[in-house]
Protein backbone atom coordinates (compact mmCIF):
# COMPACT_ATOMS: atom_id res chain seq x y z
CA UNK A 1 0.00 0.00 0.00
CA UNK A 2 1.43 3.39 -0.89
CA UNK A 3 2.37 5.51 2.12
CA UNK A 4 0.08 8.39 1.10
CA UNK A 5 -2.92 6.06 0.89
CA UNK A 6 -2.07 4.48 4.25
CA UNK A 7 -1.80 7.89 5.89
CA UNK A 8 -5.17 8.97 4.46
CA UNK A 9 -6.77 5.76 5.75
CA UNK A 10 -5.15 6.26 9.14
CA UNK A 11 -6.58 9.79 9.30
CA UNK A 12 -10.05 8.24 8.98
CA UNK A 13 -9.39 5.34 11.38
CA UNK A 14 -7.68 7.32 14.12
CA UNK A 15 -10.69 9.31 15.37
CA UNK A 16 -12.97 6.27 15.06
CA UNK A 17 -12.10 3.69 17.74
CA UNK A 18 -13.97 0.84 16.06
CA UNK A 19 -12.21 1.37 12.73
CA UNK A 20 -8.82 1.79 14.39
CA UNK A 21 -9.33 -1.42 16.39
CA UNK A 22 -10.33 -3.34 13.27
CA UNK A 23 -7.29 -2.04 11.39
CA UNK A 24 -4.95 -2.99 14.24
CA UNK A 25 -6.47 -6.48 14.42
CA UNK A 26 -6.03 -6.89 10.66
CA UNK A 27 -2.42 -5.77 10.90
CA UNK A 28 -1.73 -8.20 13.75
CA UNK A 29 -3.31 -11.05 11.79
CA UNK A 30 -1.19 -10.20 8.75
CA UNK A 31 1.95 -10.09 10.90
CA UNK A 32 1.13 -13.49 12.40
CA UNK A 33 0.50 -14.99 8.95
CA UNK A 34 3.84 -13.69 7.68
CA UNK A 35 5.61 -15.07 10.76
CA UNK A 36 3.99 -18.49 10.23
CA UNK A 37 4.95 -18.52 6.54
CA UNK A 38 8.55 -17.57 7.29
CA UNK A 39 8.78 -20.12 10.10
CA UNK A 40 7.43 -22.85 7.81
CA UNK A 41 9.96 -21.87 5.14
CA UNK A 42 12.77 -22.13 7.69
CA UNK A 43 11.42 -25.35 9.22
CA UNK A 44 10.77 -23.99 12.71
CA UNK A 45 7.68 -23.67 14.87
CA UNK A 46 6.58 -20.03 14.89
CA UNK A 47 5.00 -20.38 18.34
CA UNK A 48 8.09 -21.78 20.10
CA UNK A 49 11.00 -20.36 18.10
CA UNK A 50 13.64 -18.51 20.14
CA UNK A 51 13.31 -14.75 19.91
CA UNK A 52 9.53 -14.90 19.57
CA UNK A 53 7.90 -11.91 21.18
CA UNK A 54 5.31 -12.86 23.75
CA UNK A 55 1.91 -11.30 23.29
CA UNK A 56 -0.50 -10.42 26.01
CA UNK A 57 -4.14 -10.95 25.13
CA UNK A 58 -6.12 -7.81 24.48
CA UNK A 59 -8.99 -7.06 26.79
CA UNK A 60 -12.13 -5.70 25.23
CA UNK A 61 -13.37 -2.56 26.91
Q: How far is CA 34 from CA 4, 16, 29, 39, 46, in A?
A: 23, 27, 9, 8, 10
Secondary structure letter of residue 7 according to DSSP: H
Q: What is the per-residue pLDDT across 2-59, written as a single tens digit (0 to 9) for each?
A: 899 988 888 888 888 898 899 889 999 999 999 899 999 988 887 786 666 655 555 5
pLDDT at residue 61 greater than cutoff 50: no
Half-sphere exposure in the Cβ direction for 23 (13 Å, CA): 14
Contact residues for 38 (Cβ-Cβ < 8 A; gap 6+): 46
Amino acid sequence: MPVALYLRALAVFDPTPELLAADLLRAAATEAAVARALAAREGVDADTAPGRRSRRPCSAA
